[in-house]
Amino acid sequence: MPSEITALRASFFDFTGVVSRPEEIADRARYLEDGVLLLEAGRIVGLYAWDARPPLPDEVIDLRGRLIVPGFIDTHIHYPQTEMIGAYGEQLLEWLNHYTFPVESQYHCPDHAATMSEFFLQQLLANGTTSALVFGTVHPQSVDALFSAADAINMRMIAGKVMMDRHAPDALLETPEQSYADTRALIARWHGRGRLSYALTPRFAPTSSSALLEKVQQLRQEFPDVWLHTHLSENPQEVAWVKALFPERQGYLDVYHHHQLTGRRSLFAHCLHLDDREWQCLHETDSAIAFCPTSNLFLGSGLFNLKRSWEQGVKTGIGTDVGAGTTFNMLQTLGEAYKVGQLQQYRLSAAEAFYHATLGGACALDLHDHIGNFSAGKEADFVVIDPAVSPLQRLRLSHSKDIWEQLFMLMTLGDDRNIAQTWINGRAVWSRDAGCTQR
């Protein structure tokens, strides 16, 4: 057995394939109470039951008692809102003006952007998130700082600079021409470098003129393999404003669709107040949604209709949407997603919740060939979970009869204390007890 192989012994849970109906999820779940995962050169070699293990290297990392799951995938988050998480009292449009824009204005400074990028990545890792689709600010240097930090640990990340040319403070506005030029330069610098990818990031329709959207469209045509990341139909006042700003369009989504910004690799955050035509358009264009429960509850934006997303065949991942979202932690985010379901008589199972947070999220980002489960050849990004870290969790775990109850307990009672280690590209980059291990 070549010595470069790393072997980890623990319990493992993942999903072996992408599904199109929630009823199929449990059938695709794989749970090995005693398994061994082999890694080589940053990739998964294979996952085996311990009793059916192939020849192993002399040293096996013994993590028995821990549960290893694929790294969590956060399909919508803003790194330059970390320092204003949990800001009191406002709903979307006032919240942007009072809190968000002033904080994002600080990111013209490269040193500030670098410091906050490091902090942000530490938060992701400490919470078991190994990939994310990330908003920067309008400043190209915000994205340079984030990509540099992610590249240093070989993290799979998609990000982009915000594009906006109206309805924000002057310091955050640009012309469509400048936005095009800066975005083009960032794509040339970062897209496809290591595990990094670029997302065209018009903030949302109200801060975009038609001229700006034309530039986004032009970039998408020039670079058809980049991602498109924006907000859609989050708040009723926002939806009404878009209708007033774009009376010639058939609705909010049509503002984007008209500029050919829907499609595979297009990710729309929120989607709380869609009409039938918009749901159909998301489906027909193979666009994806980020469901952001803590944000939607915190800003009082509305309840996402997960059942409808399945019925319409629209791929959906989970986003924390920090800093409107109130946690970086995916376990807590899944717990809130469950409550959003309860308010609509939709029963979000632990299986479905963990699917969205791993392979389903990868699929929403069109990254399922690279990440999301323990299939051989995939990139070795995973989380070592401590199944119980407090007297209450230990008591509840001792009363759990199977893996489903354990996972549901984690999304109800779990948090960052349960994240024992985070591995990226085959290396432990975070350990709860040692903090950052590889930087």
The strand pair at 419-424 and 382-385 is best described as antiparallel
Selection from 154, 146, 159 nearest residue 191 by Cα: 159
How far is residue 436 from each of residues 123, 197, 419, 422, measured CA to CA in Å? 11, 24, 13, 10
Question: Cα-flanking dihedrals φ and ψ of residue 218, to 5°?
Answer: -60, -40
Starting at the earlier edge strand, list the strands of the sheet with 419-424: 43-49, 29-40, 6-15, 61-70, 382-385, 419-424, 427-431, 435-436
Whether the Cβ atoms of residue 61 and residue 9 lie closer than 8 Å to each other = yes
Which parts of 297-326 interact with ligand GUN (CB under 6 A)?
Answer: 321, 324
Nearer to ligand GUN, 231 or 396 (CB): 231
Here's the x/- map for ligand GUN, 216-235, by CB under 6 A: it reads as ---------------x--x-
- Contact letters (x/-) for ligand GUN, 68-107, by CB under 6 A? ----------x-------------x---x---x-------
Q: What is the DSSP string of 338-392?
A: HHHHHTTT----HHHHHHHHTHHHHHHTT-TTTSSS--TTSB--EEEE-S--SHH
CB 254, min distance to ligand GUN, A: 18
Question: Among all residues, whose Cβ is closest to Zn ion?
Answer: 321
399 CB neighbour count, 10 Å cutoff:
9
Q: Is 321 in the site for Zn ion (CB under 5 A)?
A: yes
> Residue 227: which of ligand GUN, Zn ion, none does it interact with, CB under 5 to 8 A by kind?
none
Site string for ligand GUN, 144-183 (x = CB under 6 A): ----------------------------------------
Instruction: Report the candidate in 26, 9, 145 with the shortest Cα–Cα distance to residue 68.
Output: 9
Q: 158 φ, ψ to 5°? A: -120, 130
Instruction: Count the Cβ atoms, other than its own, within 10 Å of residue 420.
Output: 22
Task: Tell which one of 179, 233, 295, 418 touches ligand GUN (CB under 6 A).
Answer: 295
Q: What x-and-dash track marks residues 244-273 binding Zn ion by CB under 5 A?
A: -------------------------x----
Query: Please, what is the minimum distance in Å from the beta carbon of residue 335 to ligand GUN?
Result: 19
Pick what 96 binds: Zn ion, ligand GUN, none; C-beta below 5 to 8 Å, kind-dependent: ligand GUN
Q: Nearest distance from residue 231's CB to Zn ion, in Å?
A: 6
If contact means CB under 5 to 8 A according to the sort of partner, which of Zn ion, ligand GUN, none does residue 100 touch?
A: ligand GUN
Residues that bind ligand GUN (CB under 6 A): 78, 92, 96, 100, 203-204, 231, 234, 295, 321, 324
Binding-site ranges for Zn ion (CB under 5 A)? 269, 321
